[in-house]
Chain A
Amino acid sequence: MLKVEEQEPVAFSLSLIEKFNEIVGRYPEGKQKSALLPILHEVQAEQGWLSVPAMDKVAVYLGLESIEVYEVASFYSMYFLRPQGKYVLEVCRTGPCCLVGAEKILKHIENTLGVKEKEVTPDGLFSWRGVECLAACGFGPVLQIGPEYTFYENLDEQKVDQLIQDLRNK
């Protein structure tokens, strides 16, 4: 059970609201609930995760009950309901990727970053988690990094090291 007062109130940028308006325009009159998933992606891209105040604001914008937003946000695996590292390394852990070494990559990331799955590194830069099939089985092992979900294919340990180094230096 979450306590709302523990979470900072949020403000959405003007460009984010403009984006909302554009998204709502894609659906017929009165069907603005359809905009919920794309809008949550936009909010997460700007804020890094979906706090209760942020979801409540989305509910008000779309004319929904807050619970409708919580229900949806908690159903889909891409939405973070807790703060994450700046870069979330999401590694595919499903069958075909495991045939070509995904488990080794997961272990390597855990060792390199020194934090467990879904935890955040002390510098706030990284978190990681295993995710289910990313539909790139022929190019495995693969990982993706939001919010643009940049894709890294045919991974080995050196490539992962290089990637983490590059992100640190960014």
Chain B
Amino acid sequence: MGRKLLLEHINVPGINTYDVYRQKGGYRAVEKALKMTPDEVVEEVKLSGLRGRGGAGFPTGMKWSFLAKPEGVPRYLVCNADESEPGTFKDRYLMTHIPHALIEGMIVSSFALGAKTSYIYVRGEMMPQIRILERAIAEAKNAGFLGKNILGSGYDLELYVQPGGGAYICGEETALLESLEGKRGNPRIKPPFPAIAGLYGRPTVVNNVESIAATVPIINDGGEEYSKIGIGRSTGTKLISASGNLVKPGVYEIELGLSVEEFLYSDEYCGGIANGKRLKATVAGGSSVPILPANLTLKYANGEPRLMSYESLSEGGFATGTMMGSGGFIAFDEDQCIVRNTWNFARFYAHESCGQCSPCREGTGWMEKVLHRLEHGQGKLSDIDLLVDVSKKIEGNTICPLGDAAAWPVASAIRHFRDEFEWHVKEPVKSLQMNYGIASYAVPIAKAEVTI
């Protein structure tokens, strides 16, 4: 059994209430942190090696240390709970079942950053979670953990929940800030970064739900203790959202460094592929990261086992690797159509592009239309190279990472499954009636057939 830091008490009845959470040792981190200096708290988080759990994997402590602290200017902490990346649902799970873990983390983190007002920006569709958090905040306030002069420390903090309006792009931190200011969720042009000019032009830190919740065990056990868990620069535990054709889809807390094979097939985690089918492909970190065929999911191109860590998942670069992303692990069984899924994702990005910059606004829609044609038996062979070319023209040329996120799934699907795309063109009728199947991507697979 791997260690559980966030979900340790997930099965305790009533853990969503203040009383039970407190009985199980909740809010100790606040008590401890308020006796430290803010800089000491930042130092612990730096020591822990915690990396942003929202997708980019940027070291949280370092992000905190960039925060500008001019005299007499308010600073803000904003929690990014706009969880919208297809395949990712860990934040919803955490907020539903252990809301106080987030509230406690918010207090610790706000104290460390010197924020007196903090916001949790929750996607609007999560109205039930918004109600849960509002109740949890009221309970925490009642218990003296929020409001004026918390625990007699002299530190004041007000915490508010802000609903989004339905826009994936607001998961991008500057779009989120725009949205929180009551505007359209158009990402800002950087620099300046939020650490200098964020919410209302003030220094601001934006952190993912899981990153903020992780500060609780970091403060409780010490950053050094936390950094001992995991592997290399991937320290601590990570919530993985497992979905798709699995025996046991759901949210799992893993110690980083667990092998992908164990995560996928062991009974402790996903329990293997549903209905006795074989694995065809995976998207390991949410829809934005490159898709990998089964063989490359489990092993590097050189045959060594792949692990669930930031470094190991990206081993091999885009040629044979992928990314940790937000930890949204989607498994495709042998009956799934890669072309259809790629079209589905492309439609998602076209729908969610804010429309501000031209390569993303026009390019995502273009890719969606070409993929729609391919999937529906009207494609041409030249469409495949056209898609690769359009994806290249979007990638790297946009204001925010949504352009890259839209380009990578298309480029990687064609990189690894080009024959399936070609089959859709050559066998348009068949492709409407049946699926291409597992082809050469099955496990185990002969080495010579590895597609790179």
Contacts and interface: CB of A to CB of B under 8 A. Distances in A.
Note whether A and B contact each other (Cβ less than 8 A). Answer: yes
A77 B166 contact: yes
Contacts of B344: 93-95, 98
A100 interface: yes
Nearest to B355: A75
B332 A99 contact: yes
Nearest to B242: A138
A138 B251 contact: yes
A35 B182 contact: yes
A28 B328 CA distance: 36
A34 B83 contact: no
Interface string B99-130: 00000000000000000010000011111100
A26 B283 CA distance: 39
Interface residues of A, number: 43
Interface in A125-170: 131-140, 144, 146-151
A132 B168 contact: yes
B185 A75 contact: yes
A26 B163 CA distance: 12
Interface in B177-225: 179-185, 200
Interface stretch (B294-302, B345-353, B360-368, B441-449): B345-353
Given A98-B344, A137-B328, A76 B125 contact: no
B167 A76 contact: yes
A31 interface: yes
A40 interface: yes
Contacts of A77: 165-167, 351
Interface string B276-315: 0000000100010000000000000000000000000000
A91 B55 CA distance: 25
Given A38-B163, A96-B330, A150-B128, A28 B74 contact: yes
A71 interface: yes
Interface in B154-169: 160, 162-168
Interface string B335-379: 010001100110010011010000000000000000000000000
Nearest to A45: B127
A135 B94 CA distance: 12
B333 to A, nearest CB: 8
Contacts of B92: 135-136
A145 B330 CA distance: 25
B173 interface: no
B244 interface: yes
A28 B179 contact: no
Contacts of B124: 37, 41, 76, 78, 149
B183 A33 contact: yes
Contacts of A99: 243-245, 330, 332-333, 336, 341
A71 B178 CA distance: 13
B87 A79 contact: no
Contacts of B330: 95-96, 99, 137
Contacts of B287: 94-95, 133
A72 interface: yes
A100 to B, nearest CB: 7
B405 to A, nearest CB: 13
A33 B241 CA distance: 35
Contacts of B84: 132-133, 135
A137 B249 CA distance: 8
B226 interface: no
A106 interface: no
A148 B89 contact: no
Given A35-B182, A72-B183, A132-B348, A137 B128 contact: no
Given A72-B184, A79-B166, A138-B89, A148 B243 contact: no
Interface in B78-97: 83-89, 91-92
A109 interface: no
Contact of A95 (B160, B168, B348): B348
Contacts of B345: 94-95
Contact of A149 (B85, B128, B341): B128
A76 B166 CA distance: 5
Contacts of A35: 182
Given A94-B344, A148-B128, A38 B89 contact: no
Contacts of B165: 37, 40-41, 72, 75-79
A96 B85 CA distance: 11
Interface in B123-139: 123-128, 131
Contacts of B271: none
Contact of A135 (B83, B117, B245, B354): B83
B182 A34 contact: yes
B348 A94 contact: yes
A138 B249 contact: yes
Contacts of B89: 135-139
20 contacts: A26-B160, A34-B182, A76-B124, A94-B86, A94-B345, A95-B330, A95-B344, A95-B348, A96-B86, A99-B330, A131-B166, A132-B352, A135-B91, A135-B125, A137-B86, A137-B87, A138-B249, A148-B127, A150-B128, A151-B128
Given A75-B165, A78-B165, 14 more contacts: A37-B163, A41-B165, A76-B167, A77-B351, A95-B283, A133-B85, A133-B287, A134-B125, A135-B89, A135-B92, A135-B125, A137-B86, A137-B330, A139-B249
Closest 6 CB pairs of A and B: A76-B165, A78-B166, A137-B243, A36-B182, A33-B182, A77-B166
